[in-house]
Structure 1
Amino acid sequence: MELIVRAVDVGSGNTKFVTASAGTDIRCASFPSVAYPSSDDSPSWPSSERKKTVCIPIGPLFYEVGPDVSLAADTFRAKQLHDEYTETPEYLALLRGALSMMKVSRIDLLVVGLPVALFAVKKAALEKAMTGRHDIGGGKAVTVGKALAVAQPQGALVHYASEHQKMAEIGHEQSLIIDPGSRTFDWLVARGMRLVQKQSYSFNRGMSDVLRLLAAEITKDIGSPYRDYDAIDLALRTGKQPVIFQKPYDMKRLLPLAETVAEQAVSTMKQWIEAPHSLQNIILVGGGAFLFRKAVKAAFPKHRIHEVKEPMFANVRGFQLAGQNHARSVMAATGKERGHDASGEIE
């Protein structure tokens, strides 16, 4: 019997997680990274209206999370945009919400991610916090035998190599993985699958900065506070104009302003790259890939920029593949069908 491996990527914008995996066929799902607190586990709507959320107990409170959380949350939706995000009750609620939706009671190996800048300092603490029993409400719990934290763009590298059948070849190449997310702009230089720490980093210059900047411009234009970030995000991704005061709002004139955020982020990243001519792979992933594509291509005009299908799930799919590879190596080393020691952890 194989070890049960699952992966979760709790981002500032969305929480992505694996629901099922059979080799390289990895099924994923996501929900907004919003945790709505309440004093009890009663849903915020009548029982006759079934919505896709779960109530997760954390300390004295319950946090409602899930795909339909926007229907539960009030108009003020605080985002945990700081470096201690992984230590907050909101993070734990989102993580446990994902565990709840996986429909398993036991996970032998759970793989989670960290921004590159926080990887070295937060890895051990996050792995410890993820290991053990997780109360997911309703008298149910999920037990995690062992946790593995990886730098978020490393997951994308593994996914890219698998998708393009380059797992053996990429082990001898130098790659740059660029991952613009909601809060952070992450990049990672790797030799093979190994992180080159001094050329890899992340900082707060992601899609949330773009959305706040454009919201401020719309506010000035219409003379009234405007904070519908979801509508702005949808407009950027699809070209569908947001409706403001019952009229479609033309955002085309704001696109150059949005692109300046991407240009600033990419320009800063280039200062860290010591030998761009040696890069054999430049891979662009993440939920903000569509907006940062132009800036990345301008910064590396002599390179081909590689992308993947469903870039938002690139990291979590790579986490899953890395976890499965790790589990197989454990089983091969122990020669056991089920690699548990007396404590229930993977040996």
Structure 2
Amino acid sequence: MGRIVARAIEIGFGTTSTVVGENNGKPIIKTFPSIANPIDKNRIADVDSGLSKRKVIEVDIDGQIYEVGDQAHLAATESSRVLNDDNVNQPQYHALLKGALYMSFDDTIDVLALGLPLNHLNKSDELKALAEGEHHFPTVNRTVTVKKVIVIPQPVAGLVAYANSLTQADYDSEFSDSKVVCIDAGYLTVDVATSHGLALIERKSGAVPNGFSTVLEDIKPSLAKAFNLSSVGNDLIDQAFWKTPGVLKVRGKRYPFPVCKGQTVDGKSTPVTYDVRTNISGATGLASNYIRNIVGDGSDIDLFVLFGGPINSYAPSIKAAYPDNEVVILDDHLTTVVNGLYFAAKRAAMKLQ
């Protein structure tokens, strides 16, 4: 049998991460905004005339063209995102999946691992049906074929990634017999997976409905008042957490974040003042309370492993809820899940050889 190709895709509300290839056994990961814009081909042709072409991929979903990729956000609206619990059935979700497949270096994928939040696992069969088979890209005369799909809960994929990062000695001596809580902070939910080694303990696992969207919503009124605006967009605030950490850009000016005491980042005087630290800690503290309801007081837990794009905002509240437990924030927390999915796909692919 020839080379077996294993790939992985994680479609989150904020970003989509996909393993496009591998280098020396390690995954090559590409991450792009989870935005899929329905476009009018004629309008796009007019707009792009004489201008630099944006870095996007065009995919056809049931006759409607969507653009996804690095610069899809330049023409995005709120409807360009997948917003609800029925996301697997949304055309935007399909467009993100198809766009991620297009980025793969290979035209045939033997095993594709996909992730779902714990409270969406009932969509696994629908997701498999969506992803398995042939995906056509007629404009470039290309077809990507997916032979087999496996679906894994996102926090469990994070657990796999963490376990894979350990040396064999550490795995055998510490991890294999430890109780570990993996916490995956997402936009809509915070997922919690408790395990004994790699064995999931379902009664201590679940989804907390206080994802990062609640943090943003709690911050918006204070910032709107400070800037004398009717509202401040979620994307604008979100960027101050991850794209330009500690800097909020409004009306072309840069303000310190989460606290502004009347000076811009450049040291210029401004009437704008705000302090949204209480808003952040309040929203994340509520999530930590829900986590305690699922996990318990932590007396039987050996380790907490934290990951997910906005996890740094949740970490202080989680550490405060479990002050006597070891809490680890993974360095690659944005791509932890897709890493774990990839390792799971590789393991499944080995069984095909």
- For residue 285 of structure 1, report the CA deviation from its aligned partner: 0.3
Distance (Å, rounded) in 2 between the aligned partners of 1:7 and 1:250: 34
Query: 1:14 and 2:6 equivalent?
Result: no
- For residue 77 of structure 1, report the CA deviation from its aligned partner: 4.6
Q: Normalising by the residue count of structure 2, what TM-score does the alignment of the two structures yield?
A: 0.86
Residue 324 of structure 1 corresponds to: 346
Residue 264 of structure 2 corresponds to: none
SS of the aligned residue for 1:141 comes to strand
Residue 134 of structure 1 corresponds to: 135
- Contact 1:110/1:147, CA 8 A, preserved across alignment: yes
Query: 1:241 and 2:229 equivalent?
Result: no
Residue 69 of structure 2 corresponds to: 66
Query: 1:202 and 2:224 equivalent?
Result: no
Residue 334 of structure 2 corresponds to: 312
Distance (Å, rounded) in 2 between the aligned partners of 1:260 and 1:206: 13
Aligned Cα root-mean-square deviation (Å): 2.2
Query: Could you list the per-position Cα deviations for residues 72-117 of structure 1 after superposition, in whole angstroms to 9, with x for gaps in the alignment?
Result: 33x5454322211011111010011111112321111000000012
- For residue 215 of structure 1, report the CA deviation from its aligned partner: 2.0
Residue 27 of structure 2 corresponds to: 26
SS of the aligned residue for 1:183 comes to coil
Structure 2: any 5+ residue segments left out of the alignment?
A: 260-274
- Contact 1:39/1:60, CA 8 A, preserved across alignment: no
Structure 1: any 5+ residue segments left out of the alignment?
A: 332-347
Q: Which AA in structure 2 matches 1:144?
A: V
Q: Which moved more, 1:27-36 or 1:232-241?
A: 232-241
Q: Which AA in structure 1 matches 2:214?
A: D
Distance (Å, rounded) in 1 between the aligned partners of 2:192 and 2:147: 30
- Contact 2:115/2:153, CA 8 A, preserved across alignment: yes
Residue 155 of structure 2 corresponds to: 153
Residue 337 of structure 1 corresponds to: none
- Contact 1:116/1:201, CA 8 A, preserved across alignment: yes
- For residue 216 of structure 1, report the CA deviation from its aligned partner: 2.5
Q: 1:87 to 1:320 in 2, by over 3 A?
A: same
Residue 336 of structure 1 corresponds to: none
- Contact 1:55/1:137, CA 8 A, preserved across alignment: no
Distance (Å, rounded) in 1 between the aligned partners of 2:6 and 2:154: 17
State the number of aligned residues: 329
Q: Normalising by the residue count of structure 1, what TM-score does the alignment of the two structures yield?
A: 0.88
- Written as runs of structure 1 = structure 2, the 5 A alignment for 1:105-254 is 105-119=107-121, 121-138=122-139, 139-165=141-167, 166-168=170-172, 169-237=174-242, 238-244=245-251, 246=253, 248=255, 251-252=258-259, 253-254=275-276
Distance (Å, rounded) in 1 between the aligned partners of 2:50 and 2:4: 37
- Contact 1:110/1:148, CA 8 A, preserved across alignment: yes
SS of the aligned residue for 2:232 comes to coil
Q: 1:46 to 1:216 in 2, by over 3 A?
A: farther
Distance (Å, rounded) in 2 between the aligned partners of 1:148 and 1:267: 32
Distance (Å, rounded) in 2 between the aligned partners of 1:66 and 1:320: 21
- Contact 1:286/1:313, CA 8 A, preserved across alignment: yes
Query: 1:259 and 2:281 equivalent?
Result: yes
- Contact 2:297/2:322, CA 8 A, preserved across alignment: no
SS of the aligned residue for 1:271 comes to helix
- For residue 246 of structure 1, report the CA deviation from its aligned partner: 4.6
- For residue 24 of structure 1, report the CA deviation from its aligned partner: 5.1
Distance (Å, rounded) in 2 between the aligned partners of 1:289 and 1:267: 16
- For residue 250 of structure 1, report the CA deviation from its aligned partner: 5.6
Residue 84 of structure 1 corresponds to: 86
Percentage of identical aligned residues? 26
- Contact 1:56/1:137, CA 8 A, preserved across alignment: no
Q: 1:47 to 1:102 in 2, by over 3 A?
A: farther
Q: Which AA in structure 1 matches 2:205?
A: S
Distance (Å, rounded) in 2 between the aligned partners of 1:47 and 1:244: 27
Residue 299 of structure 1 corresponds to: 321
- For residue 192 of structure 1, report the CA deviation from its aligned partner: 2.2
Distance (Å, rounded) in 1 between the aligned partners of 2:177 and 2:204: 18
Q: Which AA in structure 2 matches 1:193?
A: L
Query: Could you list the per-position Cα deviations for residues 215-255 of structure 1 after superposition, in whole angstroms to 9, with x for gaps in the alignment?
Result: 23212333322333333223234112323475736632102
- For residue 203 of structure 1, report the CA deviation from its aligned partner: 3.5
Distance (Å, rounded) in 2 between the aligned partners of 1:94 and 1:46: 26
Query: Could you list the per-position Cα deviations for residues 20-67 of structure 1 after superposition, in whole angstroms to 9, with x for gaps in the alignment?
Result: 224652221111111100244956623751321111100120111001
